[in-house]
Structure 1
Amino acid sequence: MKWFRVTSRQPAATAPGTPPAAGDTAAVPAARSAGPQPSAPPELDYNGRKHRRAMDDATLWDMARRIPMALAQSARLAWSVDRRMTVTILLCQLLSGLGTAVMLTAVSKALPHLATSDARTGLRQAWPALTVAVAAMATGAGMWILADWATRRLNPKIASAADLTLVDLHMRAELSAYDTEGFTDRSQAAEIGALRAVDLADDAKTLTNGFVQLVSAATVLTSLHPLLLGVLVLSVVPRGLGGVIAARIDYRVHDRTLSARNVRGMMRWWLTTSELADELRANTMRPYLHSWYRAMCDRVEGRELEGARPYLLVTLLAASLAGLFTLGMWASLAALALSGAMSTAIAGTAIVASQTAGRALNSIVRYGAVMFHHGLYLSDYYTFVDEVRSMTTSRGTTQAEAPRRISLREAEFTYPGKDAPALRPVTLTLNRGEVVALVGENGAGKSTLIRMLTGLTVPTGGTVLWDDTDLATTDAESVWRHVGLVPQKNGHWPLRARENITLGQPREHGDERVWDAAERVGMTERLHGLPDRLDTLLARSVWGGHELSGGQWQRLACARAMYREPAVLVLDEPTSEMDARGEHLIFRELREMAPDRITVVVTHRLDNVRMADRVIVLDRGRIREEGTFDALVATEGSLLGELYALAQDR
């Protein structure tokens, strides 16, 4: 796992008889008393992250520069999915800020009347201004509610759009893209960016609202008296700095526990999934794994508790300084009012405005720090999207027809970042009507050759022709329409049984062809035995779903390929999990289907190779030998003969 580094730090194991920690349930001490506990899991350092400790190392200026970029990226994504809701949010923010400004101005006009000795007369004179202030406050609150409604409508669209973009690009990318160095890491970082795009929309709304409220308060104060802006700054700066420091403490705790939380999350799935339940119980893994999982929980909990004390101290210090500055502000306002330099009404308005500005600044600091961090991952999302778009399958416009012949002319392939080719120059012809078996040891180049035959990858040297059409300049989708592939690792698609057979093909003939394909692979009886037959969901983890055995899933994958009735049928270890009856049925069916297509079979069960018209033996990326099974086995020094003899001795 290249994202994790195991360090030499090993926390001491809990000694036998050590009292359980506070909060333990009754079951936990029982588990601990079963015997000596294993050593705690090693420390893991999540050192592959591009933005490791990014916020902790960033200056305030770095954060200030990054936030507008994050806002712009968030706005760009929101604009692309729903312009109407995006405009609604922006207008609501502006109107909310305008409401704050009107409210503060109205309060400043009402206060002189309320300060008179005749309360009834003062209230009557202040009533129009107070009415305006209340209306402005109500308008601001209404705009905030409307903005929140628009955001809630926008968020699901942003989540779907970002996720669909990534999924679509992954499905359209050349297979070679997956082999480029760091592709998986960048893909995961982009996925995090897509997940955080929704958070960014909410954060951006709150952050921009804070800016609008702060600007509104500052504008009103400056218009009332030039000195009030300085007073405002003094009253809110301590809270702002305290918020930044507290945010960094939070992030540092998050950063230090990220490895443990990620690994714990992966382990939790393994501990609770039914796929490993048999192994976990039969091999008595529970005591060790429970102890391991508890150690990771304790580690996360301990580090989060470590951050509580400094967080409290910083918060208390910031609040104390803010209180001192606020007291100083009030004293200054009182002095200005007593000296006649400022009216009591303006001083009262300044206090109200400073409170408004303080709340706005708190939002800016808090959500600015969050947006800085989330924005880094959103940048990863856009960078990865641009990268994969440049790697999507786009080879040409020529439309491929069902081939009668596939020719490889000095075709070779080298994976990105590798010096040695996976497949060295190969010259080979496959003809319609014949069954060809590919044989070779692991790493011989069989899967790479299959990819080139089917147009899944284009050669890095030489050419692959379907009749006279060069696959390197042909529309890939038109090639794959004529291909049926049963790979080693076939999909256990969480779909109905019907879709697991028809997947990738339109249903034009009802269920007749579906049942025919199932009959050809011996799955009719099993499908009839399902509660809803072809409508049964094949996913045991979902309520009402059902599961198949490994061999039955392989039969279903073969049925899927046969349902397509392809011109090029390729099966890579199609019967590795089947019983003898199923295996015999599949290979008999392949022989019956052979006249109408080019059939290629990869298998390590060499007895099945007998059914092939021709056997091609690969060794270290080259074709070592080629011919009929009987002729090759009888040839002295034949690799096929050697492998077959080894298989017979087992």
Structure 2
Amino acid sequence: MTAPRGEKATPVVEIAGGLGRTVSLPAARDGAPQPAAPPELDYNGRRHRRAMDDATLMDMARRIPRALAQTARLAWSVDRRMAATIVGCQLLSGVATAVMLGAVARALPRLAASDPRDGLTHAWPALAVAIVAMAGGAAMWIIADWATRRLNPKIASAADLTLVDLHMRADLFAYDTEGFSDRSQAAEIGSLRAVDLADDAKTLTNGLVQLASAATVLTSLHPLLLGVLLLSVIPRGMGGVIAARIDYRVHDRTLSARTVRGMMRWWLTTADLADELRANTMRPYLHFWYRTMCDRVEGRELEGARPYLLVTLLAASLAGVFTLGMWASPAALVLAGAMSAALAGTAVVASRTAGRALNSIVRYGAVMFHHGLYLNDYYTFVDEVRSTVTARGATRVEAPRQIRFEGAGYTYPSKDAPALHPVDLTLDRGEVVALVGENGAGKSTLIRLLTGLTTAGEGAVRWDDTDLATADAESVWRHVGLVPQRTGRWPLAARENITLGQPREDGDDRIWAVANRVGMDDTLHGLPGRLDTLLARSVWGGHELSGGQWQRPACARAMYRGPAVLVLDEPTSEMDARGEHTIFRELREMAPDRITIVVTHRLDDVRMADRVVVLDQGRIREQGRFEDLVAAEGSLLGELHALSKDR
């Protein structure tokens, strides 16, 4: 391509891609090195890494019944009627197979009569039974499939809702325990695979029933045939297990690349980073990075194709040899006079039925083994989080007039040093208290304790005379209004972003009143649907607020609740001066009816507080009126205030 006149052409380096493709990347200028390919990623810490490779056939045999039981438990909990329908249809399908094979066994000797018409006359009742049984078995499979399709959405919703609900109700200390995020992710995978397990369980149990029916018929024809059947299906079964392991190994080796590629894809296509990506000319390298990841996944999947083919061919060849033996066995029994030719034909039909059933058992058994590991993670995680939900007391509390810290401290589970050393502190209704301190001083932990989000590891936090460790958490939070540092930008209508589940007692009048108090009414009036406008730019018809504008509905949410304990953690960090002034003016006006705690790094805003509590390395270093502390010699607040003036 020719560069426009007056511009210097940019050389391009072609980098080989998969399937003969190339990636165009601008050549480095002034001898700068070319971008390095992204490093190989391999998350060795994954809990079930190499689970399929390391498992023996006995391990798989033990795990599969457990996975079946857990799947049945989940299905039974969401829709007993559909679960019972599936089980009943599976059993009836097996009965139909046995009846069909038995009818064929009765019909074939009659068809072998010297007079075909006479043979057909005597055989048609058995043939009719066989046809009806086949149709009945097919109908049972269709009904079971219908029931599964009705059951699957309910399983998906139930598993997902359970996890979401438990995450919202879990005690916050659970999030701080080591490995919580990993266990949560594994449980989420388990909930996603629960639907696959329902389908796999249906097919696997159908295979087991069909195999049992066919084996019963073969044994009734001649006991030798059962042993020959096992010999004929073992190579196919072993081949299926090995092929499943090859598939799993490819999946495992590409999991990290696929996961990171999926994460990067969102970043490359979201509007949130579109400005940065273009203005900083990041597109060529990021496209090269993404293409490299695609090629790695593609290459490893292609590497697995050859061994998969070889294993499948070898298994099929051995199975073919043994299948010939299966067919030769009835012939030998016929020649030896131990079986009639008609019964030998029945044996061949039964062996083919058993072979198809075993293929389903091997294939879906391997899948259930792997999926079952994650379903077990789901149940383990659910039990773990439920135990944290029920750990609190049952005492119901009312709006406090006073909050007291009595030697209250807290150490996070994964840390050695306390985040908050034992402190004594009293907060009274009508008082505005400012918490000040450098990063890591313990401000967030103190807020968690006073709002009952976390119970004290030592000492006690009391609302009036009630220890929050013995209180019902929901009754505590009913009196709390919290504006955290990171507020939710909920993809809901503007109205719900303010009320967020609280009752609308006065229609929209109270909403507009609160919006006015936080200086947001003009913004809401400017939206196309006003309070009905969806605040989510990524959704059709939605609109977005700026960072400072988003802090206003967060403050409005807390004020709309009319809480007895109002906590604001850096509530105006992204607001302009006018918005900041409006918020703090409203805090002062609301103060007489509640306990108000404000965390801020803007020390000029601290002047509006009745009392300032300064935290330093998890301890209360000083507290008092702003003017007194700033003027005191050696005051940390004075030092921080002086530094803020020098900036």
- Taking structure 1 as the reference length, the TM-score comes to 0.95
Q: Does 1:647 align with 2:644?
A: yes
Instruction: Find the aligned partners of 2:346 and 2:70 in 1 and give their Cα distance.
Output: 37
Q: Deviations over 1:355-398 (max 9, x none)?
A: 11111000000000000011111111111111111111543232
What are the Cα deviations for residues 53-101 of structure 1, in whole angstroms up to 9, with x where unaligned? 0111111011001111111111111111111111110000000001111
Q: Name the structure 2 match of 1:378.
A: 375
Deviation of 1:20 (Å)? 5.0
Residue pairs, 1:232-247, within 5 angstroms: 232-247=229-244
Is 1:95 matched with 2:118? Answer: no
Other-structure match for 1:602: 599
SS across alignment from 2:383:
helix
**Quick one: which of 101, 106, 116 aligns to 1:104?**
101
Give the equivalent residue in structure 2 for 1:289.
286
- Determine the structure 2 residue equivalent to 1:134: 131
Matches within 5 A, 1:293-442: 293-392=290-389, 394-442=391-439
Q: Determine which of 456, 459, 463 is the counterpart of 2:460.
A: 463
Question: Whole-Å Cα distance in 2 between the matches of residues 584 and 607 of structure 1?
Answer: 11
1:76 is aligned, of 70, 73, 78, to 73
Contact 2:94 2:206 in 1 (8 A): yes
Preserved contact between residue 486 and residue 571 of structure 1 (Cα < 8 Å): yes
What is the aligned-residue identity percentage?
81
How far is the alpha carbon of 1:322 from its aligned partner? 1.1
Per-residue deviation, 1:29:
4.3
Partner SS state of residue 388, structure 2 = coil
Q: Residue 4 of structure 2 aligns with which residue?
A: none
Residues of 2 paired with 1:64 and 1:400: CA distance?
A: 53
> What is the total number of aligned residue pairs between the two structures?
633
Is 1:210 aligned with 2:207? yes
Q: Answer yes or no: is 1:612 the counterpart of 2:609.
A: yes
Distance 1:630 1:519 in 2: 31
Q: CA RMSD in A?
A: 1.6
| 1:422–1:445 CA contact under 8 A, matched in 2 | yes
1:18 and 1:283 map into 2 onto residues whose CA distance is: 22
Deviations 1:428-476 (A, max 9, x none): 1111112111100000000111111111111111121222222221211
Q: Does 1:224 align with 2:221?
A: yes
Is 219-228 or 118-127 further displaced after alignment?
118-127
Whether the 8 Å contact between 1:16 and 1:37 is mirrored in structure 2 is no
Query: Separation in 2 of the partners of 1:60 and 1:21?
Result: 36
Distance verdict in 2 for CA 1:320–1:141, change over 3 Å: same
Distance 1:611 1:17 in 2: 63
| Counterpart residue identity of residue 138, structure 2 | A
CA contact (8 A) 2:420 2:446 kept: yes
Distance 2:71 2:14 in 1: 54
**Corresponding residue of 1:7:** none
- Cα distance, 1:16–1:559 mapped onto 2, change above 3 Å: same
* Deviation string, structure 1 residues 542-577 (Cα, Å, up to 9, x no partner): 222221111111000000000011111100000111
Give the corresponding residue for 1:500: 497
Q: Conserved in 2, the CA contact under 8 Å of 1:521 and 1:582?
A: yes
| 2:548 pairs with 1:551 | yes
Instruction: Describe the shift of the 1:67–1:283 C-alpha distance in structure 2 as closer, same or farther (beyond 3 A).
Output: same
How far 1:16 sits from its partner (Å)?
4.1
Residue by residue over 1:207-249, the C-alpha shift from the partner in whole angstroms, topping out at 9 and shown as x without a partner, is 0000000000000111111121122112211111111111111
Q: Does 1:623 align with 2:620?
A: yes
Residues 1:590 and 2:584 are matched in the alignment? no
CA distance in 2, matches of 1:19, 1:73: 48
Q: CA contact under 8 A between 2:225 and 2:326: conserved in structure 1?
A: no
1:645 Cα offset (Å): 1.1
8 Å Cα contact 1:454/1:479 also seen in 2 = yes
Whether the aligned pair in 2 keeps the contact of 1:394 and 1:476 (CA below 8 Å) is: no
Once residues 147 and 19 of structure 1 are traced to their aligned partners in structure 2, the CA distance between those partners, rounded to angstroms, is: 50
Q: In 2, Cα distance between the equivalents of 1:400 and 1:118?
A: 93
Structure 1 spans left out of the alignment, 5+ residues: 1-14
User: Any stretches of 5+ residues in structure 2 without a counterpart?
Assistant: 1-11
Question: What secondary structure does 2:389 align onto?
Answer: coil
Aligned mates of 1:394, 1:340 — CA distance in 2: 74
> Which 10-residue stretch deviates more, 307-316 or 282-291?
282-291
